[in-house]
Every structure is written in structure tokens, then in C-alpha cells.
Amino acid sequence: MDIKTPRPKAKIGPWIDSHSHWASSKWTDSLRNQFYLEAKERGISYFVQAGVGPDDWKAQLDLSNQYPGTLGNSFGLHPEWISSVVNDVLPFHPNTRSSQKDPEEILEEAMNLLPQFLTKSLALGECGLDFRPHIVKESHDIQIDYFRQQLELASIADKPVILHLVQAHDEALRVLDFESNPRKGFVHGFNGSAHKAKALTDRGWSISVGASLLYPKNEKLRQAVREIPMEFLLIETDSPDQPPPDLKGQMNPFVTLLQVAEQVGRLRQMSMTEVLDISTENLKRILSLQENPHGKFEPIPRTTA
């Protein structure tokens, strides 16, 4: 009898989504859990969160208790949240806005609260600059001020940083050059040119790309991905936002990460799993994560002198 040796099973994770928003008010609990189970089945088992404002930070902690060993939290003041406070419009989480307080008081309270949350985080973020006209309005200088403050806090707390930079490349570089952070971090949702990517990687910052890469006309970003050194490249979903073209206007599932990895693989002549492996290893390095014997990601314990 000819006994055939069974083929080894193809590797399925564990992989990390470098950026998502489980605490977004857009979710229903059932849909978020459905998307999570689908992603877990495909090998995506850990999700780096990004903070928006204080209500979001608290929601992240609640979700971490519901999904132990699944979420890596980060807390920061999102520039769009800052703008919403300054310009008196509804932020991502409307309960944060209080008519009894002026914008400066709300921002100062949030900034004073942030160090307490950082003790429970992998990183500070997301923070940065968003100078799109419909976002920035009267918040230009205040965004820069709180960006500087958060970078300084991250340096003191020895945390890497997750950056949100939109239509603010030159100003962001000036701030980053002034406020040094030895831990660096990464720019999420990058959608720029190879030249802009190089300016960031030359400074030690990694680049995370998502479903914007899947849009056929985005050759600028595809060329950037071809040139970014793989040790600086990460992939993300930004779920529930930034869906791929075939889901435009819908909630973005976590399994979109596989499509992004597949597209990066085409551009870099690599397999999808190789891209996922490299992105995961890069995130483990940046965020000081390790994989335990049960295949779960966890923070590397800090040693004290």
C-alpha cells in the first residue's frame, strides 16, 4: 500500500491588525463580534486600538475585558476630536462635549487624564494633525499645541506613538523634528507619495497602509508601497472606517486586512502570508509585544533597574 505523507497545513496566523476602532459608536455589538469571529477564523487574532478622546478610552477598557487577549489599547487625543471641541461640533463620541465647559477646559481635562490611561496602553495615539478644511477650521494652532504636548508625554512615558497625519505633512515633520521621541511608532492610514513616506522612514517612523491601496487609481500609494523598506511597513483596516472599493459606504470588516496584504504582496512579489508575517513582526517590535505559548499576543513585561 502506498501511504502518502499528509501535507502540512498552511500557516494561518496569528496576525495583527495594526489599527482599528472597536470602540467606535458606529458598531452594533453583534456586527463587531461577527466581524471578529470571521477574522479570527482567518488567522487575524489581535487588534491594535486607537484612541479618540476620553469616552473612547473608557470604552476600549470595557471591550478589553470582554475580549481578553485580543485588543491592544492605545489612548490619545485625535486631532479631529480636538477640532470638534474647538469648533463646537459633535465629536466622534458626543457625550464628551459639555455645554457647561469651554473648549480649553475640556481639552485640558482630557490631557490631564491621559497619563493615567497610558499606564494601561501599548502606545499613545492616535494623535497628530488633520488640516482638511472641513476639519481644521479654527483649530490649526491648537492641534499643533496638543500634538506637541502628546509627543512630549509619550517620551516621558516611554510609549511609541500612533500618528494621524492628513494634509499636514510639512507641519508634522517640523513638529516631529522638534519633539523627539526615542520610541517612535507609526503613521496609520498612510495615503501619500513615496517621497513623503521616505521623509518619515528616514526619521525612524513606520508606515501603515490600509484599503486605500485597493483603489485602482491610487498609483501614488502603490508606488510608495513598492519603495518603503519592509521593516517599516505595516498593514491595517481602520475598521469600521475606510472600507475597500467593493464595500464603499459600508462597514469595513476586519478580514479586509487579507486583501491589503494580498495587494502589498503583488507589489513586492511576496505571498500574502509573508506580508502578514512581516507586518506582525514589525508591530511586535514597535509595540513591545510577544507571543505566548498559547499563540496569544501580550506586552513584554517591563524590567525595572
Judged by DSSP in three states, 250 sits in coil
Q: Which amino acid is at 304?
A: T
Question: Which run of H or E residues covers position 15?
Answer: strand 15-20
**What is the per-residue pLDDT for 180?**
75
Judged by DSSP in three states, 126 sits in strand
**What is the per-residue pLDDT for 183?**
85
Domains of the chain in start order, with CATH, are 23-289 (3.20.20.140)
DSSP state of 234: E
Nearest to 262 by CA among 286, 238, 244: 244
Euclidean distance between CA atoms 164 and 23, whole angstroms: 17
Low pLDDT (below 70) residues in the chain: 1-11, 90-100, 304-305
**What is the per-residue pLDDT for 100?**
65
